[in-house]
Structure 1
């Protein structure tokens, strides 16, 4: 017997908010160059700071690009085209992102797949031109690299990040090599589908199943699937979630709130 851990990447293993925010600013400038004409560094810095606060709403990376533009429009009336941007606060975004996102996608006439491609391309170019700086804009949470290296459990990465970026960070920053077939990234389907695939593999029969996430909404999606009742579910309290979400999770019997040190010890 033994244990299988399916691990989210951003917010569980790696704090990538610095890199994703900077990449989103770069991508937004490519997508909407006229909006960013005359935007000075102090405002850009403010946007990046706010991105750290609103990061819990992001499910897939391209949403960072939308958030950058929305924050800009909330501050600069001359570029404002969205009906929701005036007077918008980060608290409004944290509370209402699922309602705001479809509105701005429609108003800005944006296409999800095009934004995903753009965000990936900007990251690829940054990596190609200056890998050290790109790597340096990320950090693994304390103790995680060693926990991954010395894990006695079977490990899988289940993330909405594009696999090549997760793989590069694991190798270059954490010094960890996880076989590509164990990294389920963007495009491999919803996480509930991946968890079903993992539990059905013949080599995993008899293993105790664990799924570690930092997004409460994702764990709730797992709970809705009776087929996934065998999974032990954990919400990492160090990741991209809010106190309100942690309090909500504490009231759900299926979910265990786990601290970083306990998580590292479990993997080992």
Structure 2
């Protein structure tokens, strides 16, 4: 018997909020150049600061681009096109993003896939032009690189990040080589389906199954699937979640709220 750990990437292994926020600002300038005509560096800095606060609502990277524009519309009435921006607060975004997102996408006439492509393209260009700068905008959580390097458990990455970016950061920043076939990124299907696939693989039979996430919504999706009853579920309290979400997690017998030091110890 051994252990298999399926690990989310952003908010569990890597604090990528600085990089994703800066990439989102770059992408928003490409997508809506006229909106940023009068935007100075201090306003950009304010947007990036707010992005750290609203980060818990992001499920997939392209949503960062929408949040940048929404924060801009909240701040500058003259560029406002969304009906929800007036009077909206950062707390309002945290509380209501699930309802806000479809409204602004419709009002801005945006489609998910082109925004995903744009966000990836902006990151690729940043990496090509300034790899050190891109890597430096990310950081692994304390102790995580060593925990990954010396893990006695079988590790998989299950993330909504595009696989190539997760792989680059693991290699270049953490100094960890996880086989690419064990990195399930954006486009490999919903996380619940990836977990079903992992547990059905012949080579994983007999292993104790563990899934570590920082989004309670994802863990609740796992609980809804009877097929996934054998997974031990963990919410990383150091990741992109709120106090309210951590308290909610305590109400689910299957979800263990995990601290970073305990997580690093489990992998080793």
Scaled to the shorter chain, the TM-score interval is over 0.9
The corresponding residue for 1:10 is 10
Q: Deviations over 1:162-199 (max 9, x none)?
A: 00000000000000000000000000000000000000
d(CA) in 2 for partners of 1:231, 1:23:
34
Partner residue, 1:256: 256
- Report the counterpart of residue 214 of structure 1 in structure 2: 214
What do residues 56-86 of structure 1 show as CA deviations (whole Å, max 9, x unaligned)?
0000000000000000000101100000001
Which string of whole-angstrom CA distances, capped at 9 and with x for unpartnered residues, describes residues 3-53 of structure 1?
A: 000000000000000000000000000000000001011111000000000
Deviations, residues 211-250 of structure 1 (Å, cap 9, x unaligned): 0000000000000000000000000000000000000000
Q: Counterpart of 1:239?
A: 239
Q: Distance in 2 between matches of 1:147 and 1:202?
A: 26
What is residue 182 of structure 1 aligned with on the other side? 182
In structure 2, the residue matched to 1:40 is: 40
Q: Which residue of structure 2 aligns with residue 154 of structure 1? A: 154
Give 5+ residue unaligned stretches, structure 2.
none
Shift of 1:87: 1.1
CA distance in structure 2 between the aligned counterparts of 1:199 and 1:223, rounded to whole angstroms? 15
**Structure 1 residue runs of 4+, over 6 Å off?**
none
1:58-73 matches, within 5 Å, as 58-73=58-73
For structure 1, the residue ranges without an aligned partner over 5 or more in a row are none
Q: Offset of 1:129 from its aligned partner?
A: 0.1
Superposition pairs for residues 93-172 of structure 1, below 5 Å? Answer: 93-172=93-172
TM-score (norm 2): 1.00
The structural deviation recorded for 1:133 is 0.4
**Partner of 1:226 in structure 2?**
226
Q: Deviations over 1:115-174 (max 9, x none)?
A: 000000000000000000000000000000000000000000000000000000000000
Distance in 1 between residues matched to 2:229 and 2:90, nearest whole Å: 35
Separation (CA, whole Å) in 2 of partners of 1:45 and 1:112: 26
TM-score normalised over the length of structure 1: 1.00
Report the Cα distance in structure 2 between the residues aligned to 1:87 and 1:140, rounded to whole angstroms: 36
TM-fit CA distance, 1:266? 0.3
